[in-house]
Structure formats: C-alpha cells, structure tokens
Structure 1
Amino acid sequence: MARRIDDGPRPKHAQLSDVLAELAVRELGPDVAIPSERELMTTYDVSRATVRKAIDNLVAGGLLHRIQGKGTFVARPRVESRLHLASFSQDMLRRGLTPSTRLLRVDEERPPAEVAKSLRLGARGTAWRIDRIRLADGQPMAIEQGWYPTSLLPDLDAEDLSGSLYTLFDVRYDLVIDAAEQTLWGEAAEGTTARRLEAPVHTPLLVFRRVSSAAGRPLEHVVSRYRGDRYQVHMTLGPTSTPAPTPTRTTRTTRRDPS
C-alpha cells in the first residue's frame, strides 16, 4: 500500500521525494523507469507541481535521471575517484569495473599555442593528437583529447592505444609519468560531445585538464570530460601547507647630505 502524503509539517514534495527514493533503491534499481507523473499524481493524491518538484530534487541529487521523450529512470551509482596520479584504466580497474576505449583519431599535428607551451615544443615541434572515448563496463564515461610530444614518443600511432597510455609509455618508451598539474571545472554536454557520451543534452560534465611529466619532461596535455551523472570526485582536505609570512623588521636609513 502506498505511503500517505499528508498536510503535515514537511512539504508534500519532500515527503514524495522520500517515497520515490525508497522505491528507487529498494524495489526498482538502476536503469528502471519510475512511475509516470500521472500515476504518481493519482497514487499519492498530489498535484503535478508537487510531483515535478519531488522528482527534480532527486535528479539534482543524482538518484534519478531523465531521458528526453522516454521518462525518468533510476540512475546508476556514480563511480567515485580520489584525486591521484593514475590512468583512466587503472582508476576503473581499482573500482572493479572493466575499462575499454573507442579510438576516434590519432594524428601528428602542431598543437594550439597553449598546448605547445605546456609541452615545451618550441617554435616547430609537433605532438600526437589522440581523441578517445573511455568506457566503464561498456558505458561511456568520458571523452578525452590528449597531446603527446612526437619527439619523445616516435611511432606512437603504430601502437595499441586502446588501453592505458601510462603503461604503454612505461613499457615501450621507458617513460614513467611521475608528476602532474590538474585543473577541474564544470560544463554542460552539448552537440557532438553529448552524442559521443550518449548523454542527454545539458548533462553536467566534470572537465579535467592535466599536464603530466616524466622525470621533469612534459609528456601529456589532456582534457577529459566526464559525465557528471556517472562520476564524482572525492578529496581529502587539510590545512594549507604554505607557511605564514614571517614578519620583517623595517630599518629606516637616514641619508645625510655629504655636502
């Protein structure tokens, strides 16, 4: 029997959110559709506005997701990652997921000025551009565009690029990624990116720009766009390691006129 939604101290949309959350977790499971808005209105004797607000709350929280023209479904649990220096393949394997790759392109090009500078390519240096879609258990998780110096990685286009590039660099070129600088921001999936990630338009994306090096030599400049409804990041924070400035004593010197 459906739980009653009443006029108590909690708003009706909040009560309905609780009901739908319990339904999603205990009875339905990932990728299963929840009842339609009309069914929910009838079952719980609430307005359409109440139903939509309840569903919006759960979509925002990541428990549900909408597919245009199909309905609202229980979302798959997000893959959680701690920020650390590892390849996508290594990251997914640690979580018990099977990584795979769709290679979109690999070409030798002169990269944009920002990339050329970060890779220290000089005026004429080139890099391999590698575009890939990364999947976990067959589900598109991220799309990435990476740049890698051709001078350090000759004939990279002849190698198998479907797995971990970090492992390939180590085994084939004796180059171990040992440091990186990474920046994170948010975007919304649009156009080609949304289609390749098989994501509804406006799906939130977590975007990472990483510049990695091996023994002090820049080896990678990659931008990865992860589906925000399938991926989340965990960070452990602590006090800043930057020491407080030490007060300095100012000495006033009086200059005497030699005359």
Structure 2
Amino acid sequence: MATVEKPIRFYGVSDVGKRRDHNEDAFFFSESEHYAILADGMGGRHYGEVAANMTVDVVKEKFASFFPPSIKDLRKTEQTHCADMVICLLDEWIRAANLAVWSKGQREEQFREMGTTVVAVYALPNMAVVAHIGDSRVYHLTGGSFRQITDDHSFVNSQVQSGVMTAEEAQASAQKNIITRAIGTAKHVKPEFKTPRLASGDKLLLCSDGLSDMVVDEVIGDIVASGDPPQRILENLVSEANANGGRDNITVLLVDYEA
C-alpha cells in the first residue's frame, strides 16, 4: 500500500561564531531530492574548509548524477527496501569523498593534515537514513522526546562507552574534540548508519560541534521543541551557542516532518 507523503521541509544556517575568523563548515540540502549533508572541516589554515567542501561537493554530484530513478518510485511503497538501497549508495559515495580528500592530501603537502566530519540524512515518508563520521550529530525530536541518534566517533565518547568517564566528565574534558574517525585522515573509512522511524510532527536536527559543545542537549531540545518557525529555531540555536562563547563555527540543519 502506498504511503501518503506529507511535506518534509529542509532548513539550514551557518555562522562563523565569536572566536574564528573563517567558517570551515559546509552544508547543502535539497528538498526535491530529500537529503541534507553537513561537514565540519579540520586541519588549520583554512584547509579544513577544503576538506568539508570537497566532501559535500562529491555527495552532491553523486546525488545529481547517479541517484537511481527506481528509488524515487519506491519511496511510498517499499520504504525499507528503499532505505537499504540508499545506505549502499551513501556508503559508496562517502567512501569516494574520503578517498578524494585523502588523495589530495597525499599529492599536496599543505593539505596533508586536513580532514572533516560528515553527517547526511535522506528523508523517507516514515523513516530516514542517517550516515555519519566524526562528532557532528543528528538529533531526533518526536513527541516529548529529544535524543541524539548518532554516536560520536570521539575519544571521550569511547571512554564513556567503556565506563571510564561519565557523560558530564566527557562534556567538560579538554580532550572532547579528539575524534577517532574522520574523512580524509586515512585511505579507507567506514560510515555508520541509523534508520530512525519518523512521524508527522517529528524533526531531525543536524549540527556541527560548534553547537553541541556550546549548548547542552536539554537546552537544544527545548529550543527545537519550542513551536517557533523552523528558521527561527535555527537562528535561536546559533544565538544560544554564541551567547555561551561561540568558540567554533556553528552549523545547524533542520529536517521538518510537517504535521
């Protein structure tokens, strides 16, 4: 039976923050193609911007050139099968982006240390495919619940998972920005995938750590659940991060499953 597809809207904003003179985050979304992607570059001297933009551009080009029309036909009737196909495609395309960034670093010495995180969402009528590498995050608002659905690929998160640190200790740790998986730092990389179920009224929030390092999850959730218009929600999140110090670039995207 075909699913009646209600509107799924996409919104995004990026801000340089209070401490940086340059924005090394990159993002893109396409409502017509039902996806969003965010990358948070690293490597200093603006080279992180190169890695982030390369990653976003590779995925954009793959969606534009190689996304099979058959998947679009399956959106309303075979969502689980559609999701499986999208996972295969995103896995291949993110690995291709990684190889492109890594290869540039091997060829050109000044880019040797560059890398980037990535999170991507492909939205289906009642579920989504979430892909990620690094510590950029995706949160899910549903009913009265707001939770992070990605697992940070970071040193402190591995310590939390093994019971060495509490979540509060990890948030306060000077080592919280050490990531254990990134685009461009090795020839091969493995994206991680989630497939959350979604309902009318749900929202997915994608963000760089310029938000999550500056604003605790409870406050992020309150702002997302406020009922404000989506673009205002994103502006309020950026304002809150900057009010708390704005130590990094802040990029936030919202995927809104309209009620």
TM over 0.5: no
TM-score by length of 1: 0.25
TM-score normalised by L of structure 2: 0.25
Pick 1 or 2: higher relative contact order, CA cutoff 8 A, min separation 6.
2
Structure (1/2) with the larger strand percentage: 1
Q: Which has the larger radius of gyration?
A: 1
Higher helix share: 2
